[in-house]
Structure 1
Amino acid sequence: MSVAFRREGDEEHLEPKFEIPIPPGPNLVTARGLALIDARLAALEAEIAELVQQGAEQSRIDAAKRDLRYWQTRQITAELVPQPDGETVEIGTQVTFRHNGKERTLAITGDDEADPAAGMISFSAPLARALLGAEVGELREFAGKEDALEILAIVVVPGATKA
C-alpha cells in the first residue's frame, strides 16, 4: 500500500523537535541575570496560557512549553555569584582593556545574560576566561599571544548583584 494511503498526516515526516541545549558547566548568574530568567519564565507561562485559551496550534504550544522547560532548568540550576569587589575581573564586573592597540569595555555575565552586541559576554567565552582574575595594570595572554590584553579599569556593574 502506498504511503499516501496510510499516512495520517504530514507530522510524521517533520524533523523531530529537540530540547534546547543547556550550556555545559555551572550556571553562574548575576542578580540581573536571575531577574531576567524569572521574567522570561513568567512571560512564557502567560504565553502558554494565552495560546491554550485561544486554541492555538499544538505545535506553537509545544514550542512554548519547550522554551519553558529550558528556562525552568536554568532557574533551578542558577548559582548567584557573590558581589564582586571591583579589585579583580569577575562575573558582575565591567572591564576596560586594550587589545591590539584598541581600547574596549565589556561586562562579564552569566551565559543567558550575555549579549555581545551590547558589550556583555559570558564568563565562559574565551576572552572572558582570559580576563577573569586580572587586576588593573596586569597584562594577560590571549589567543596565543603574550601580553595581548592590558587591563585598564574594572568597575562593578550596577544591578549585577544584590545589595
Structure 2
Amino acid sequence: MSVAFTKEESAETAAETVLPDRPISPHPNLVTEQGLEALNDLLRDAHQAYEAAQQIEDVNERRRQASIPARDVRYFSERVRTAQLVDAPSSSAVVAFGTTVTFSRNDGRIQKFRIVGEDEADPKTGSISYVSPIARLLYGKAVGEVAGEGDHEVEIVAIS
C-alpha cells in the first residue's frame, strides 16, 4: 500500500494542537476565600474536560479537543499553587483587599466595587482587581477622603 493512503501524524499537525500557555501575571496571586474556591473549581473542570477529550479515538481530533483543557490545566494548576489566601478584612475603616468600596465621581456617577484577586475580578458583576488603577488609587483611604486629581477625582462614600 502506498504511504499516501495511510494516516500518519506529522510534526506540523502535532504542533498545531499545542497551545501556548496563558500569560501569568507578575503580581502576587492574592485571592479571597471565594476566589480560591473558584480557582479550584476551574481546575477541576479543566481536568474533566481534558479527561473527556482523551476518550476520543481519532488521535488528531483528540489532540485538538484536548488542547484548550490542557492549557487551562497548566494555568489553573499554577494559579492554585501560587495562590495567597487573604483573610477577610477585620475592619472597614479603610479600603483594603476584600472590602467593598462605594465612591462618587466628579460627573455624579456612584460606583461600587469589591477589591479582589486578578482571576476573580469582573467589573460587570461588581469586582475589580487589586492591581487595577482605581483600586490602587483607593487603597488605604477612608470614607470622606478624595483620591485622584482634576477630572479624575473620586470621593469615598462607603466601605464595607
Q: TM over 0.5: same fold?
A: yes
Work out which of the residue numbers 130, 151, 155 in structure 1 matches 2:137.
130
CA apart distance, 1:107: 1.0
1:151 aligned partner: 156
Aligned equivalents of 1:105, 1:10: Cα separation in 2: 49
| Structure with the larger strand share | 1
Q: Which runs of 5+ in 1 are unaligned?
A: 1-7, 156-163
Runs of 4+ in 1 over 4 A off after TM superposition: 12-16
How many Å apart are 1:83 and its aligned residue?
A: 2.0
Three-state SS of the structure 2 residue aligned to 1:53 is: coil
Higher Rg of the two aligned structures: 2
Deviation at 1:53, TM superposition (A): 1.8
Correspondence 1:93 to 2:95:
no
Q: Is the 8 A contact 1:95 1:105 kept in 2?
A: yes
Partners of 1:119 and 1:95 in 2: how far apart? 10
Aligned length in residues? 147
19 and 107 in structure 1: CA distance in 2 versus 1, 3 angstrom threshold: same
Other-structure match for 2:19: 17
Note the aligned Cα RMSD (angstroms): 2.3
Q: Which of residues 44, 47, 63 is equivalent to 1:58?
A: 63
The whole-number CA distance in structure 2 between the counterparts of 1:60 and 1:54 is 8
Q: Unpaired runs of 5+ in structure 2?
A: 1-9
Amino acid at match of 2:157: L
Change (3 A) 1:15 1:41: closer
The answer on 1:117 being equivalent to 2:119 is: no
Higher relative contact order (CA 8 A, sep 6+): 1
Identity rate, percent = 36
Distance 1:20 1:147 in 2: 33
**TM-score calculated relative to the size of structure 2:** 0.82
Change in CA separation of 1:130 and 1:51 when aligned onto 2, cut-off 3 Å: same
